[in-house]
Amino acid sequence: MTLDAYQSLLQSLPVMQQSFTTKRNNWIYAEKQIDWLQELNNQLFQKQPYLELSRQDLFSYIGSIRELIVKIIYWGYPNGMRGNNFVNIMKNIEVLEDALNSIKIKTNLNQTDYKSLIKAFDGIEGLGMSTFSKILYFMGIRFNGNPSLILDLRLIDVFQCAKFADFVELECIRYDNTRKHYLNYIRTMNELAARLGTSGESIEQFLFIFGNNLKIN
């Protein structure tokens, strides 16, 4: 099976409108651990118990990197993160900010730049590839000309099941080696998107929704 059969769907998916709603209560514990988070949440939630964020909201945001990172996590983990992952990431927020500030001003980012970013991020407990890739994606960071894309466990499961011939190169990806294969992942996805006349993020969304839920007779 290849994605060619779903080309029209891929071209019409409402990717930018994909939204998730998170409860303020899911982040109360973290507010008690991180001294600046309560004030930020007051601004974000505006005395409401819920906050809805879409991809477009995140791409349109032009404020601080810190607020954007928090919004990305709220979008990606509306029910909260596992264990102390969120608190651990927030405790290292300045490391994240510094690394991202230094990388976003560069052009023509390559594998060396990627490795430098990995080195900075590797010391942050709780920052797995799922979160890492979301941050790169919503910040619009490109490597070797390829836009970053989200890579999480659901997509890795799709690649491992080998349902789609388009992703033979990605069948080797496991969650413990995603950093090693991430640049190959975004290259493969964006090349496939160009061939199908769509975007890499449309393919990512399609695989997230349908990847392992298609029965082919």
Residue 204 pLDDT > 70, yes or no? yes
Q: How confident is the model at residue 178 (pLDDT cuts 50, 70, 90)?
A: very high
Helix (H) or strand (E) holding 46: none
**Domain spans of the chain, in order of start:** 3-210
Residue 215 pLDDT > 80, yes or no? no
Q: Dihedral, CA atoms, 6, 142, 57, 78, nearest 10 degrees?
A: 80
* 6 vs 96: CA distance, rounded Å: 38
pTM, two decimals, is 0.94
Which pLDDT score, from 0 to 100, does residue 217 have? 60
Strands 50-54, 19-23: pairing kind: antiparallel
Kindly report, residue by residue over 12-59, the tens digit of the pLDDT.
999 999 999 999 999 999 999 999 999 999 999 999 999 999 999 999
